[in-house]
Structure 1
């Protein structure tokens, strides 16, 4: 084995191809030609004397040796990154890139401001913010931090539980003046619902009353939306009733544009968490941003903190 040919650059190319399952995706991600990434992996295989990847016209898969080497190389690369980061941060100046993923409405309404303030304090840090309500694979997409609403299935990720985001039923004053104000949950059957099409079970509304317990009823309407900011605009335009997060509409409630509907009945709160790849929190800039985001999110309107 030619150990001098086992370079960090070649290892990085291989590990990312193993994670993404695509030479072309890694080439786009790194801003190089696909031939460069292919060459890195081929040269690494030659240096090691083993086949790391099975290549077909349709897919790239790991060999058994490749799977073992991916885990070992990934550990080495994380240690290298942490060592470089610690050295660069020795003078208390954070630097480098942090990739953040966040649900769109929360990102626009609140998280972006926290990121701007973080950059003002640390001008050598680059933030790459992705806003999407589609849950991504943090390792596959090379994301450092993800802010997620709802139950989690990412059992391999580290988690910082923030709390539960409380929601209320809301509608515009214009809509309620035109269609009437519901007095009991069953009255909702005669109103238009604005439903989130990307939320499982949004055609059923579960409400909790302190004295009566929980009830469920059908929740339907002519408008389905897959973006929280569009739901906010639909509320303003009087399109119907929405179970909305307080952080999304608190300013509209305060101004009187929106009203709370059935204030004695509350939709189920939604858990809010920060996720990150194990080991990434040891990198100083990532650890610092996790702390800043944790503080910002705990101060959101309607947030009940985790115990």
Structure 2
């Protein structure tokens, strides 16, 4: 194969294999056969006269030459997409796919309706929404944006703070009728807690008193879960009390299926952030979604300024 025949498709296949470290994963992602992905990489190596990957039985890893070529390919592909976006902007509305990741409960309860409204405004923009509570690598997974709750330390992405998510201690009236209504942190002893097992330190409940005092009490119960929507169902069913994001239970509070418990004692709020894959931030459709989400999420009940 002559160097002049190196195509953008082959470059894109190579870049995704470099980022994911797996030919089969890229084949599934692109919807083509693994043999096609392997052929694209092999044709690039033949044209360049160097090995781009060191292959093992489990994964492929970039060689030194491959790492340098990957950096050049990224620049080329960014320029191509930017040129396409600029020309498209002069002729028509932004179009294409934005890949978005979000924590499962927030994505189901709050983000999905916002996405529907966004697509009504921009009918040529497709949204590929992935709901997961796992901290993913945006580059490796091919994701443009990710909404995450909690402190973050990923220096490879741009981060935009969307505010803090207020939490409060809640329980169903049926639970309170059976076990009594706690008035102080000491009263929580013996109560059934609905605990999130995928949150570090969830076996202790930390509260701030009316005068700023700090209280830390053991927190446990017969039902433990790793998903916010399941915790919401358990609270509504009267299986226990627990801290919940305001946006997760606002409707249950409004119709009386849940009640605020010990309102004078505050549960710590949680940062809500938008992670942005840096090389995708300048793309028009991605910028549109970033600005839209920043404005709309600030209106969600319980999301307070940072």
TM-score (norm 1): 0.97
- Provide, for residues 198-257 of structure 1, a one-character-per-residue CA deviation record: whole Å limited to 9, x for no partner: 111111111112414222111111111111111111111001011000011111111111
Match of 1:102 in 2: 102
Alpha-carbon offset, residue 65 of structure 1: 1.0
Residues 193, 219 of structure 1: 8 Å contact kept: yes
Residues 89, 95 of structure 1: 8 Å contact kept: no
- Provide, for residues 169-197 of structure 1, a one-character-per-residue CA deviation record: whole Å limited to 9, x for no partner: 00001100110000110211210000111
Distance 2:78 2:221 in 1: 49
Match of 1:248 in 2: 248
Match of 2:173 in 1: 173
Distance 2:80 2:208 in 1: 51
Q: Does 1:21 align with 2:52?
A: no
Residues 101, 131 of structure 1: 8 Å contact kept: yes
Q: Does 1:191 align with 2:152?
A: no
Q: Secondary structure at the match of 2:90?
A: coil
Alpha-carbon offset, residue 69 of structure 1: 1.3
User: Cα RMSD (Å) of the superposition?
Assistant: 1.2
Q: Secondary structure at the match of 1:300?
A: coil
Q: Secondary structure at the match of 1:275?
A: strand
Match of 1:10 in 2: 10
Match of 1:73 in 2: 73
Q: Does 1:281 align with 2:284?
A: no
> May I ask how many residue pairs the two structures share in their alignment?
306
Instruction: Show structure 2 runs of 5+ residues with no match.
Output: none
Match of 1:83 in 2: 83
Alpha-carbon offset, residue 92 of structure 1: 4.4
Distance 1:277 1:189 in 2: 45
Match of 1:301 in 2: 301
Distance 2:6 2:213 in 1: 63
Q: Secondary structure at the match of 1:279?
A: helix
